[in-house]
Amino acid sequence: QQQVKQSPQSLIVQKGGISIINCAYENTAFDYFPWYQQFPGKGPALLIAIRPDVSEKKEGRFTISFNKSAKQFSLHIMDSQPGDSATYFCAAISNFGNEKLTFGTGTRLTIIP
Amino acid sequence: EAQVTQNPRYLITVTGKKLTVTCSQNMNHEYMSWYRQDPGLGLRQIYYSMNVEVTDKGDVPEGYKVSRKEKRNFPLILESPSPNQTSLYFCASSNRDHVNEQFFGPGTRLTVL
Q: Assess A64–B contact: CB distance below 8 Å, yes or no.
A: no
Give the Å distances, CA to CA, from A1 to A4, A25, B50, B104. Answer: 9, 11, 24, 24
Question: From the centroid of its chain, how far is CA B57?
Answer: 12
Q: How far is A44 from chain B (nearest CA, A)?
A: 6
Is the CB of B102 less than 8 angstroms away from the CB of A89? no
Strand pairing partners for B65?
A: B77
A-chain CB neighbours of B56 within 8 Å are 99
pLDDT of residue B98: 85
Question: How sure is the predictor about B97, in pLDDT bands with cuts at 50, 70 and 90?
Answer: confident
Task: Annotate A95-111 with b (16+ C-beta within 10 A) or e (fewer).
Answer: eeeebbbbbbbbbbbeb
Do B63 and B82 form a contact (C-beta atoms < 8 A)? yes
A101: nearest Cα among A4, A22, A24: A4
Phi, psi angles (nearest 5°) of residue B4: -115, 125
Element (H, E) at A76: strand A72-77
Nearest CB to A93: which of B50, B99, B104?
B99
Distance from CA of B105 to the nearest CA of A (A): 6
Q: A83 phi and psi, to 5 degrees?
A: -70, -10
Contact by Cβ (8 Å): B67, B50: no
The most distant pair of C-alpha atoms in chain B lies apart, rounded to whole Å, by: 40
Higher pLDDT, A53 or B7: B7
CA atoms of A79 and A65, how far apart (whole Å)? 17
Top-confidence range, A2-6, A12-16, A53-57, B53-57: A12-16
Pairwise CB contact (< 8 Å): A34 & B101: yes
Least confident of A79-83, A105-109, B40-44, B73-77: B40-44
Share of chain A above pLDDT 90, in %: 82
Q: Three-class SS of residue A85? A: coil
**Distance to chain A for B43, nearest Cα, Å:** 6
From chain B, pick out residues whose CB is under 8 angstroms from the CB of A101: 45, 99-100, 102
What residues of chain A lie within 8 A of the CB of B50, using their CB?
99
For A104, nearest residue in chain B (alpha carbons) = B42
Residue A2: is its pLDDT beyond 80? Answer: no
Task: Identify all chain B residues contacting A64, using CB atoms and an 8 Å cutoff.
Answer: none
Residue A48 reports pLDDT greater than 80: yes
